[in-house]
Amino acid sequence: MKLKNRLEQDPLFKWIFYFFVGLVGITPMIYGLVKLNQGVSWGGILVLLIFIFIPCAAFLAIFFAPFLIDKTIASPIGHIFTGNPNIIEDKPIYGPVKANRNQGDYRQALNLVEAQLKKHPFDFDGLMLKAAIQAEDYHDLNAAKETLDIALIDKDQKRYNLPIVYNKIADWELNIFNSISCARQSLETIRETYPGTKAAQLAAQRIAAMEFYDESIVAPTKISDSYNDIVEESSRNELKEGLLKFPKKEQTDYEIESEKLLSICLKRVEDHPESIINREDLARYYFDHKKEWEMAIKQYELLISMPGASTNQKVEWLNKIVDIKLKSGTRLEEITSILNRVVNINPESAAANRAQSRIMHLPIEIRVANKKKVPLKLKQHDEDLGLI
């Protein structure tokens, strides 16, 4: 056991040991080969074979076979599953950087990440980590932007890195520096650089969400003003008895609010035509409130034709159109054609299978939808119930 440990721990001793073992095993065999070349009788050959070649071969096999099997057979097969321990990947190490940052030692964290970036100057993860320290811990957004500019030098990776970089910058501008306009400008950079892509679509959704944020700031002020007006009017009228009475909603108020909601939805869609949320809200309004089926379908068709729309999104919107068609009483053939559009997107997908299954059950869905529209009719009975 001690010899095995010594061989594993001391490479020089290992090679010297195997050299002498090989010398002891091979020297007699060389002597036997010399004798064979000098001409030996069959009896002599048998003696050399029994007393020299076979023992020496067995001696060498005992010492070298495990080593050869391990290196030529076992190790390559094992490395397939575990990896080669002799191959060391030259990768940056950011564990100490994150540890120091979590402990609040931002200066040491910055020094460590810069040391790694000297060895790997264009490593994207390292540049993002350095920029995060500069922006989030030191509140130096300009320095963070300069760091991230390096990540955009590689033209081959720019298409993937730029959306990540500018989305992160928008996060910092919005959450740390409270600058909605700057965050919107960063997201506009993504839309302008790669129009019609999924990244541009997501940037458009974030820009539209910022518009909601602006409106939410104004909304509480209007509510407070209305409440103050009621209180002032109550004080002027000297209504001292009872609880404060708020005006009751009339039936016409619903129509007014409905029109206001429509104008808000239309304005949002006009300001942000690529916003999925705004257009879905408008379609839902047409469907639920106005019962204008074609207008709702038009919004979903615009969403389907929008650049950057994913397959899952298109499938979802087409199924929404089917639901509207069912409720509006459209013919079976027209609804079937819409579901066939789902199948044509990717005939091998699960969504296509569900669409085909729904086509088979469409007559049942149509009957159920039609039954819901028919008002319940009460049977008329004779006034004479059989009483005397």
Q: Residue 385 domain-assigned?
A: no
Q: Which has the minimum average pLDDT: 93-102, 342-351, 363-372?
A: 363-372
> Does residue 368 share a domain with residue 287?
yes
Choice between 235 and 152, residue whose per-residue pLDDT is larger = 152
Question: Which two three-digit tokens encode residue 51?
Answer: 């007393």
Averaged confidence pLDDT in the chain = 78
> Does residue 127 share a domain with residue 67?
no
pLDDT value at 140 more than 60:
yes
> Does residue 113 share a domain with residue 31?
no
Exposure string of 327-352, with b = 16+ CB inside 10 Å and e = fewer, is: eeebeeeebeebbeebbebeeeeebb
* 31-40, 52-61, 326-335 — most confident range: 326-335
pLDDT value at 364 more than 50:
yes
Please identify, among 22, 50, 82, the residue that sits at the C-terminal boundary of a domain. Answer: 82
Give the Cα separation of 45 and 38 in Å (integer).
Answer: 11
> Does residue 209 share a domain with residue 108?
yes
Q: Residue 237 domain-assigned?
A: no
pLDDT value at 98 more than 50:
yes
Q: Residue 62 domain-assigned?
A: yes
> Does residue 206 share a domain with residue 141?
yes
Give the Cα separation of 132 and 98 in Å (integer).
Answer: 11
> Does residue 140 share a domain with residue 66?
no
> Does residue 177 share a domain with residue 108?
yes
Please identify, among 216, 240, 257, the residue that sits at the C-terminal boundary of a domain. Answer: 216
Tell me how long the chain is. Answer: 388
Whichever domain contains 153, its CATH number is 1.25.40.10
Give the Cα separation of 114 and 111 in Å (integer).
Answer: 5
> Does residue 116 share a domain with residue 58?
no
> What was the pLDDT predicted at 225?
43
- Segment 12-29 shows an average pLDDT of 75
Number of domains the chain is built from:
3
Residue with tokens 């509207």: 324
Q: Which has the minimum average pLDDT: 8-12, 87-91, 339-343?
A: 87-91
Residue with tokens 């290196």: 71
pLDDT band at 220 (very low <50, low <70, confident <90, very high): very low
pLDDT value at 294 more than 50:
yes
> What was the pLDDT predicted at 222?
43
Range of the domain at 157: 104-216
Q: Mind listing the pLDDT tens digit for each residue in 160-190?
A: 999 999 999 999 998 898 888 999 999 999 9
Q: Residue 243 domain-assigned?
A: no
Question: Which two three-digit tokens encode residue 290?
Answer: 């106005």
pLDDT band at 27 (very low <50, low <70, confident <90, very high): confident
Percentage of the chain modeled with pLDDT above 70: 74
Give the Cα separation of 76 and 71 in Å (integer).
Answer: 7
Give the Cα separation of 222 and 94 in Å (integer).
Answer: 50
Q: Which has the minimum average pLDDT: 7-16, 92-101, 262-271, 309-318?
A: 7-16
pLDDT value at 271 more than 90:
no
Q: Residue 239 domain-assigned?
A: no
* 7-21, 123-137, 357-371, 372-386 — most confident range: 123-137
Q: Residue 290 domain-assigned?
A: yes
> What was the pLDDT predicted at 286?
86
pLDDT band at 74 (very low <50, low <70, confident <90, very high): low
Q: Residue 88 domain-assigned?
A: no
Query: SS3 letters for the chain?
Result: CHHHHHHHHCHHHHHHHHHHHHHHHHHHHHHHHHHHHHCCCHHHHHHHHHHHHHHHHHHHHHHHHHHHHHHHHHHHHHHHHHCCCCCCCCCCCCHHHHHHHHCCCHHHHHHHHHHHHHHCCCCHHHHHHHHHHHHHHCCCHHHHHHHHHHHCCCHHHHHHHHHHHHHHHHHHHHHCCCCHHHHHHHHHHHHHHCCCCHHHHHHHHHHHHHHHHHHHHHHHHHHHHHHHHHHHHHHHCCCCCCCCCCCCCCHHHHHHHHHHHHHHHHHHHHHCCCCHHHHHHHHHHHHHHHCCHHHHHHHHHHHHCCCCCCHHHHHHHHHHHHHHHHHHCCCHHHHHHHHHHHHHHCCCCHHHHHHHHHHHCHHHHHHHHHHHHCCCCCCCCCCCCCCC
Nearest residue to 317 via CA among 329, 305, 307? 305
> Does residue 346 share a domain with residue 269?
yes
Give the Cα separation of 304 and 297 in Å (integer).
Answer: 11
Q: Mind listing the pLDDT tens digit for each residue in 198-217?
A: 888 888 888 887 766 555 43
> Does residue 338 share a domain with residue 272?
yes
Please identify, among 27, 48, 82, the residue that sits at the C-terminal boundary of a domain. Answer: 82
pLDDT band at 266 (very low <50, low <70, confident <90, very high): confident
> Does residue 108 share a domain with residue 62?
no
Q: Which has the minimum average pLDDT: 70-84, 221-235, 366-380?
A: 221-235
pLDDT band at 144 (very low <50, low <70, confident <90, very high): very high
Report the interhelical angle of 332-345 vs 362-373 (nearest 10°).
Answer: 130
Q: Residue 89 domain-assigned?
A: no
> Does residue 201 share a domain with residue 108?
yes
Nearest residue to 25 via CA among 62, 70, 66, 67? 62
